[in-house]
Amino acid sequence: MPTIVAHFDVPFVRCLDPEGRVVDDLPAVASDTEALRAMFRAILRVRLFDAKAVALQRTGQLGTYASCLGHEALHVGIGSALRPEDAFFPTYREYGTQLWRGVRMSEILLFWGGDERGSAFADQPHDFPWAVPIGTQTLHASGAALAFRLRREPRVALATVGDGGTSQGDFYEAMNAAGVWSLPVIFVVVNNRWAISVPLAKQTAAQTLAQKAIAAGIPGVQVDGNDLLAVRAVLDEAVARARRGEGPTVIEALTYRLSDHTTADDARRYRGKEEVERAWAEEPVVRLRRFLVERGLWTDAEEKRWTERCQEEIEEAVRTYLGTGTPPLEDIFDHTFATLPAGLAAQRAEALAARESTPHG
Amino acid sequence: MPTIVAHFDVPFVRCLDPEGRVVDDLPAVASDTEALRAMFRAILRVRLFDAKAVALQRTGQLGTYASCLGHEALHVGIGSALRPEDAFFPTYREYGTQLWRGVRMSEILLFWGGDERGSAFADQPHDFPWAVPIGTQTLHASGAALAFRLRREPRVALATVGDGGTSQGDFYEAMNAAGVWSLPVIFVVVNNRWAISVPLAKQTAAQTLAQKAIAAGIPGVQVDGNDLLAVRAVLDEAVARARRGEGPTVIEALTYRLSDHTTADDARRYRGKEEVERAWAEEPVVRLRRFLVERGLWTDAEEKRWTERCQEEIEEAVRTYLGTGTPPLEDIFDHTFATLPAGLAAQRAEALAARESTPHG
Amino acid sequence: MAKITLVEAVNLALAHALEHDPSVVLLGEDIGPNGGVFRATAGLQERFGEQRVLDTPLAESMIAGLAIGMAAMGLKPVAEIQFSGFVYPTIDQIINHAGRLRTRTRGRLTVPMVLRTPSGAGIHAPEHHSESNEALFAHMPGVRVVMPSSPQRAYGLLLAAIRDPDPVVFFEPTRLYRLHKQEVEDSGEPLPLDTCFVLREGRDLTLVSWGAMIHETLEAARVLADTGVEAEVIDLATLSPIDYETILDSVARTGRLVVVHEAPRTAGLGGEILAEVAERAGYDLAAPPVRVTGYDVVTPLFKLEHDFMPSVARIVAGARRVLEG
Amino acid sequence: MAKITLVEAVNLALAHALEHDPSVVLLGEDIGPNGGVFRATAGLQERFGEQRVLDTPLAESMIAGLAIGMAAMGLKPVAEIQFSGFVYPTIDQIINHAGRLRTRTRGRLTVPMVLRTPSGAGIHAPEHHSESNEALFAHMPGVRVVMPSSPQRAYGLLLAAIRDPDPVVFFEPTRLYRLHKQEVEDSGEPLPLDTCFVLREGRDLTLVSWGAMIHETLEAARVLADTGVEAEVIDLATLSPIDYETILDSVARTGRLVVVHEAPRTAGLGGEILAEVAERAGYDLAAPPVRVTGYDVVTPLFKLEHDFMPSVARIVAGARRVLEG
Ligand SMILES: Cc1ncc(C[n+]2csc(CCOP(=O)(O)OP(=O)(O)O)c2C)c(N)n1
Ligand SMILES: Cc1ncc(C[n+]2csc(CCOP(=O)(O)OP(=O)(O)O)c2C)c(N)n1
Ligand SMILES: [Mg+2]
Ligand SMILES: [Mg+2]
């Protein structure tokens, strides 16, 4: 009979059920009324923004755009659990977290509008820009955490990665490094069940994505990612542990991509309507609204006012975006290196001359 | 209170303790006298070969060589558990498995002697050559297993990978693919505690390497890799499962690199003598010899005779190796593509002409 | 015979290969029910089944490594990498194994695989979706690199790539995927992988290009023709190994050479071709040869991508430079 | 001032950087107690501690990715890749992030990292340990590529690379690690990353090379000198971006150019240099330029490695070709 030499459990945390009923202990933040309201406002804000971005793309005013519909509670949970000095390493969907951390709506639009200035983040100095090459950002997060650790700064790095992204070697390498040096880093696996057209069952045979942490010898926990309070519960603990120098955590957040993969995608080709309908029943806004309304922390009137304010902000951002125009052609040369090498200076001159003779739209 | 949604155990298997005493149920092969003797002979054979290869390097007759001292039981366990039609994907140390599967001693020497013909394997049609880029071979094994599965062939692919190799992303990608398609592939993690100078504790925070399988949702088991019978016990089961179409297994074999990393390495720089001495007390030959001798299956006289036969075989292989000379220069061109492109033909002619005018050693 | 687009020609060639060779297997991300993000594999899983058209987990090194193992065991895997910006994780497997296994084993094991990937800018794609990185692969021994520039050539070259006994990296210019239609006969006839294609004959100068830039290059030739200059236009098509005979033959007649590519200039394939021509036919050159290329910068996001890609005007200006000497 | 080898000069530069800049951190496989497989980091962990000299798990993509994260957060990581054949898994991180982060964020985030790796054949190393792949990195925008060819230049260029605000891939020619000794002052003086080094002046032809091949190239120049031919020898040193002024200036005087490198010929940097010279100084050329390079084959295992590497005789023959025109 073999002996058992190691043993692992994967816990799952949920505080509110889809109807907004409390089903488990609530985290400390749940008794902070203003924090709750601020988070709910942020959730509504990003949902409204997201809808507008999709509309802009549909009307030819934006390039391909990746909607975050359904991920909003998770995004705001992450954003609100971090401090400004912490560093965030997103994929390409985490607008909710980014808005919380100072990225401007107009920057998000610029990025998807084909303009590098969208990643220049005027109000967010150190967060990484969107990482399109799947999984690569997890290593940057571990590297940042290593920098924090070496400099003894009490900062935390947090990377998100998709369910699809968990198949990339970089993710395992990042978790493994985090484990070896006990780094202050948190990996949030955004399990929205789909990687474009590939469902989770074709992505991995792992029963949970949290258990991927076991490969690196670090804690892994699964959470209802549509439940803001549960997200905060597990994140607050992970952040506190990381900040105390107790090492990394992997958090698998169960959510659902309610939108197409991007506006260039048509999800009807590969998934059924019923599945999406079931997912809508679990989406994050309704349950938190119920929870708040039942406790007298939120009203329809407030929501109407807030929605209007957000719409104004969004319209303003859209105006800024649309008014921004083409970036200076020089920029593509001037930011290649800190100083312009001679050969590139010649190419820069050539490009500017070519622009003169045949200007583009 | 979180609920537990997944739960994993990592078993450890050992049949013989370092003194050769039976400590657990023995696998079926343990009652096959001839098989046992053949395996023990193979273990001795590769140990003798390995010592000779090191000696050749020390006397300037071989390039850098990676010794397999201490890994012999594991190698022979793997070799004997597979069928000829199965496919083997080694790292660079698994001579014991390779010799069992038809690779010639002279080929091993040719390879480390800087001659590609060492990987041409006259008697082994489909096994992969040594994989020096750590971890890459695990994907080839999954790919081969995928081919077997798609063609409905009852063949098994087996890759070895070092403890250091388990840090490479390719390894996780290979395990994950194996899990998704339930492939007939086995990954044997050769945990010899060191990756050159890096000890396991700096390689990963994982308590076992078998648990890395959990990330892919596939079974992982730890085995005493210096215990031939335990190795056969877990391998026989994994091979049978794979052949039945029941999917992959990860086997972590605990062993120890009794030698320097390669002949270019000096392990005294980074590890203590006591550790190596302790490891010698657990090495694989002694315990199996005791087990066999106590059961009357092996004698000193036999060992002497067998040793002599091996030495003759080894000397013959060395003569073949040393007599082989430099490969034809044409070969480096003629095997680049199936047919020689025009440009390469010109380079081939240039190289041959250059050889004419300034011949090398 | 219907007129079809380049991406449809790719689909047709894949279907032909699947139909006629049971060892052909497609693998890649989203190539199954979704038919590929560019629809190159549309309908193929439905038609040939999940055993022939495999959706993979999301990992490019894995895709390349699996294909190598499959190919060495006798299959002919055709792997898709979704966009060229994601091809980099395959490089280790391609250079260290795919291109080497034959010579490492002296022919015992071979890797008849194809790695298909889109290439180039110009379709308003997101970040990392518009790169041209063919030169990286052209530097790898034992690897063929191919890039078609029309539906017919896409069909014939892809069939040839699949049948080739060695690894082929097959770049598909996304900008051409749906730009033109052409009659393509589903004949199963491959096109040769060892010759360029002369798309237009001319005595005054030689324009060499490949992939999407063939479009601008041909247009430049028409512009030049209006001024009485007859440019020969050569589609390199197989980017490695290069058919220099056709190029040298043309340059021997025209004495003037312009190479056009979208990839960055430094260490791009334009350098390779100018060098080889200078070396082997330097005395044939009536004027210094010219490269018209992308700049040595990261391919810009789409607001500026058209400034990055060589324009007809820049090609014409390059031609003028070489004509005026 | 003691004479030291190239690998000792690397060690000296690393020690200087660690000593004078607290943001410098070394990371890599076996660089700690083992001091690196080539001993480039010997003694450094002992001297500067485990917080400054980090042994990493065995994963090259990880090493590159960590360095990017560290660099963007203000450290100056100097990462070691153990052999050049294992540098390929870093390519995705280097091209998609290290070389791009500055332009992607318009200067908000930068990546002042160095990726050190040995390069080249000639030391009887095992399979995959002898590759020359500098051209792959030279094609990447936003990345500097440097390769020293003497202890002094190793010291000065490595210091410059570490101080450079952008990513530098720093190739160290293993064949030179212990071949020569030179006096190297531990002055902390960097050498410029924007100029080549003229190692020998000459009026008859220009030989451009870098790394270990400088050795054979200088030897070829001496052989040529015996026959009355004075070759100028230029060490490219910074392989990207290239200092063409020095090269063009030389070719303007000599009219003849030979580029020598160990990497395979096709799409190697020799092509780049011949092309640029042909393009910008075609009329200065008295004869077609010549490349003397490794062949387009996988670097052979060591029994044949010397047939792969350009020999003095092949360089001399190349020079004769260009001299005789
Ligand atoms: C390395 C890499 N390969 C492929 C792609 C193309 N791609 C973009 S998103 C995506 C699916 C990602 O799925 P997941 O990680 O689950 O994230 P989600 O989109 O669901 O948020 C793919 C394949 C990419 N961006 N990067
Ligand atoms: C990709 C890659 N990186 C680095 C090396 C250099 N190297 C050769 S063996 C080795 C250590 C391997 O350790 P492990 O996987 O435990 O295998 P072992 O040598 O102990 O059998 C290293 C770093 C390599 N061969 N390949
Ligand atoms: Mg997903
Ligand atoms: Mg080991």
Cβ atoms < 10 Å from Cβ of A60: 7
Question: Which of the residues in chain B have pLDDT under 50?
Answer: 361
- Chain A: give the shortest CA distance to residue D142, in Å: 5
- Tally Cβ neighbours within 10 Å of residue A254: 24
Per DSSP (E only), the strands in chain C are 3-5, 24-28, 53-55, 76-80, 114-119, 144-146, 168-173, 181-183, 197-200, 205-209, 231-235, 238-240, 257-264, 290-294
Output the pLDDT for position B20: 95
Any atom of ligand 2 within 6 Å of the Cβ of B192: yes
Distance set, CA B306 to CA A47, B105, B225, B303 (Å): 77, 16, 24, 5
B99 contacts: CB under 8 Å, gap ≥ 6: B42, B45, B46, B49, B79, B105, B108
Give the domains, in start order, of chain B with CATH numbers: 12-327 (3.40.50.970), 328-361 (no CATH)
The pLDDT assigned to A357 comes to 79
Please tell me the residue having the least CA distance from ligand 2 atom 21: B162
Ligand nearest to the CA of A134: 1
- Phi, psi torsion values for B92, nearest 5 degrees: -130, 15
Any atom of ligand 1 within 6 Å of the Cβ of A230: no
Q: What is the DSSP string of C5-24?
A: EHHHHHHHHHHHHHHH-TTE
The pairing of strands A220-224 and A249-254 is: parallel
Q: Which of B5, B172, B208 sits opposite A12 (nearest CB)?
A: B5
Beta strands of chain B (E only): which ranges? 3-13, 87-89, 157-162, 185-191, 194-195, 198-199, 220-224, 249-254
Ligand 2 atom closest to Cα of residue B91: 21
Cα(A157)–Cα(A172) distance, integer angstroms? 16
Burial code (b: 16+ CB inside 10 Å, e: under 16) for D103-136 equals bbbbebbbbbbbbbbbbbbbbbbbbbbbbbbbbb
Angle ∠(A296,A302,A303) on CA atoms, nearest 5: 105
CA of B134 to the centre of ligand 2 (A): 5
CA distance B122 to B124: 6
In percent, the amount of chain A with pLDDT more than 90 equals 98
Q: Residues of B near C (CB-CB distance < 8 A)?
A: 87, 89, 116-117, 119-121, 125-126, 128-129, 133, 136, 138-148, 150-151, 157, 169-170, 173-174, 176-177, 180, 331-332, 335-338, 341-344
Give ∠ CA B202-B205-B209 in degrees, rounded to 5: 100
Predicted local confidence at residue B358, as pLDDT: 67
Q: How confident is the model at residue D2 (pLDDT cuts 50, 70, 90)?
A: confident
Mean per-residue pLDDT, A50-76:
98
Question: Residue A256 Cα, ligand 2 centroid: separation in angstroms?
Answer: 40
Judging by beta carbons within 10 Å of its beta carbon (0-12, 13-18, 19+), is residue C95 exposed, middle or buried? Answer: buried
CA-to-CA distance for B204 and A179, rounded, in angstroms? 6
Q: Do C141 and D289 touch (CB under 8 A)?
A: no
For residue C307, what pLDDT is reported? 96
User: Taking CB atoms and an 8 Å cutoff, what residues of chain C touch D280?
Assistant: 288
pTM of the model: 0.98
Residue C295: burial class (beta carbons within 10 Å; 0-12, 13-18, 19+):
buried
pLDDT recorded at residue C286: 96
What is the CA(B282)–ligand 2 centre distance, in A? 23
Q: Which of B140, B324, B329 to mutate against chain C (most C CBs within 10 Å)?
A: B140
Q: Is A259 near ligand 1, meaning CB less than 6 Å away? A: no
CB contact under 8 A, B63 and D126: yes
User: What phi and psi, each to the nearest 5 degrees, are found at residue D270?
Assistant: -60, -40
pLDDT at B357: 79
The fraction of chain C above a pLDDT of 70, given in percent, is 100
The Cα of B101 is separated from the nearest Cα of chain C by a number of Å equal to 16
- β-strand B194-195 against B198-199: which pairing, if any? antiparallel
Which element (helix H / strand E) includes D263?
strand D257-264
Calculate the average pLDDT of chain C.
97
For residue D68, the SS3 value is helix
State in Å: Cα B131 to ligand 4 middle. 14
Q: Which two tokens stand for residue D187?
A: 């002055």
- Which 3 state secondary structure label does DSSP give A194? strand
Q: Which atom of ligand 1 is nearest to the CA of A262?
A: 19
**Is A169's CB within 8 Å of C300's CB?**
no
> Would you put residue A127 in left (φ > 0), alpha (ψ -120 to 50) or beta?
beta
The answer, yes or no, to whether the previous bond of D192 is cis (omega within 30 of 0) is no
D129 is catalytic: yes
Task: State both tokens at A257.
Answer: 């991509």
Place of tokens 């033909």: B345
pLDDT digits (tens, 9 = 90+) for C162-197: 999 999 999 999 999 999 999 999 999 999 999 999
pLDDT digits 0-9 by tens, B176-187: 999 999 999 999
Q: What's residue B356's pLDDT?
A: 83
For residues A200 and A191, is the Cβ–Cβ distance under 8 A?
yes
Q: Using the mean position of ligand 4's atoms as its centre, give its distance from the Cα of residue B270 in Å.
A: 14
Tell me the CA end-to-end span of chain D in Å, nearest whole number: 46
Point out the ligand nearest to the CA of residue A165.
Answer: 1
Using one digit for the tens of pLDDT, what is the confidence trace for D236-270? Answer: 999 999 999 999 999 999 999 999 999 999 999 99
Structure tokens at D229: 């031919």
* Record: contact C296-A358, CB cut-off 8 A: no
* Closest C-alpha among A113, A110, A134 to residue A122: A110
User: For residue B117, what is the nearest residue in chain D, using CA coordinates?
Assistant: D301
- What ligand has the least distance to the C-alpha of B94? 2
Interface with C, mutate which of B85, B337, B348, B350 (most C CBs under 10 A): B337
Q: Check pocket membership of A192 for ligand 1, CB cut-off 6 A.
A: yes
CA distance A248 to A241: 8
In this predicted structure, the answer to whether residue C275 has a pLDDT above a threshold of 70 is: yes
Can you say whether the dihedral through the CA atoms of B14, B15, B19, B20 is positive or negative? negative
Residues of B in contact with D61 (CB under 8 A): 169
Pocket probe mutation, ligand 2, options D27, D58, D87, D115, max atoms within 8 Å of Cβ:
D58
Identity (one letter) of the amino acid at A118?
G
Q: What is the pLDDT of residue A356?
A: 84
CA distance C127 to C247: 35
Q: Which chains touch D (3 or more CB pairs under 8 A)?
A: A, B, C
Do B218 and B282 contact (CB within 8 A), yes or no? Answer: no
Ligand nearest to the CA of A259: 1
What does the alpha-carbon distance between residue C260 and residue C207 come to, in Å, rounded to a whole number? 7
* Neighbouring C-beta atoms of residue B102, cutoff 10 Å: 15
Catalytic residue among B21, B58, B83, B270: B270
Q: Which atom of ligand 2 is nearest to the CA of B71?
A: 21
- Which of C18, C50, C66 should one mutate to test binding to chain B, selecting the residue with the greatest count of B CBs within 10 A? C66
Spatial separation of the C-alpha atoms in residues C173 and C150, rounded to whole Å: 9
- Condensed to tens digits (0 to 9), the pLDDT of residues D37-60 reads 999 999 999 999 999 999 999 999
Give me the pLDDT at residue D1, please: 76
Under DSSP, the state recorded for D96 is I
Do residues D25 and D78 lie in contact, with contact meaning Cβ atoms separated by under 8 Å? yes
Residue with tokens 């999301």: C58
Question: Which ligand number lies closest to the CA of residue B133?
Answer: 2
- Among candidate residues A230, A91, A208, A95, the one with its CA nearest the CA of residue A161: A91
> Under a CB-based contact definition with an 8 Å cutoff, are residues B297 and B108 in contact?
no
pLDDT score for B359: 53
Residue linked to tokens 């052949």: B243
From CA B166, how far away is CA A172, in angstroms rounded? Answer: 10
Q: How far is CA C104 from CA B129, B148, B343, C108, D317, in A?
A: 8, 23, 21, 9, 30
| Buried/exposed code over B239-264 (b: 16+ C-beta within 10 A; e: otherwise) | bebbeeeebbbbbbbbbbbbbbbbbb
Q: Is A197 in contact with C55 (CB distance < 8 Å)?
A: yes
In whole angstroms, how far apart are CA D95 and each of A136, B306, D71, D82, D239? 12, 56, 15, 19, 16
Q: What is the count of residue pairs from B and D with beta carbons less than 8 Å apart? A: 122
Distance between terminal CA atoms of chain A?
Answer: 74
Rounded Cα distance between B196 and B179, Å, is 30
State the number of CA atoms in the 13 A half-sphere of B10 facing the CB.
Answer: 27
Tokens 């034992």 correspond to C142
Show which of residues 145-184 on chain B sit within 8 Å of chain A, judged by CB atoms.
167-173, 176, 179-180, 182
Which pair of tokens denotes residue C158? 């892809």
Name the residue among D58, D86, D297 with its Cβ closest to that of B203.
D58
Does residue A361 register a pLDDT over 70? Answer: no
- Which chain C residues contact residue A333 at CB under 8 A? 295, 297
Nearest CA to ligand 2 atom 13: B195
Which residues of A are known catalytic residues?
A: 257, 261, 270
Active-site residue, from B47, B261, B287, B289: B261
d(CA C66, CA C259): 36
ipTM for the assembly: 0.98
Atom of ligand 1 nearest to the CA of A66: 19
Cα A208 to Cα A204, A253, D220: the distances in Å are 9, 10, 64
- Whose alpha carbon is nearest atom 19 of ligand 1? A195
Across the interface, whether the CB atoms of A63 and C311 are under 8 A apart is answered: no
Query: Which strand (E) or helix (H) includes residue B139?
Result: helix B136-150
Tokens of D288: 């077609």
Per residue in A108-145, pLDDT (tens digit) is: 999 999 999 999 999 999 999 999 999 999 999 999 99
Rounded CA-CA distance C221/C240 in Å is: 25
> For the segment A160-213, what is each residue's pLDDT rounded down to a tens digit?
999 999 999 999 999 999 999 999 999 999 999 999 999 999 999 999 999 999
DSSP per position, B270-331: TS-HHHHHHHHTT-HHHHHHHHHHHTTS--HHHHHHHHHHHHHHHHHHHHHHHTS-PPPTHH
pLDDT per position as a tens digit, D109-127: 999 999 999 999 999 999 9
pLDDT band at A4 (very low <50, low <70, confident <90, very high): very high
Choose the catalytic residue: D129, D139, D215, D306. Answer: D129
Enumerate the active-site residues of C. Answer: 129
Report the alpha-carbon distance of residue A282 to residue A272 in Å, rounded: 16
User: Closest to A3 (Cβ–Cβ): which among B12, B169, B204?
Assistant: B12
A259 Cβ contact partners less than 8 Å away, ≥ 6 residues apart:
A54, A67, A68, A69, A70, A267
**Single-letter residue type at D207:** L
Note the pLDDT tens digit of each residue in B281-324: 999 999 999 999 999 999 999 999 999 999 999 999 999 999 99
Q: Which residue of A has its CA nearest to D50?
A: A150
Give the nearest ligand 2 atom to B166 CA: 15
| C94-150: pLDDT as tens digits | 999 999 999 999 999 999 999 999 999 999 999 999 999 999 999 999 999 999 999
Catalytic choice (B45, B71, B155, B257): B257
Tell the residue number behind the tokens 């001659």, with chain if given. B115
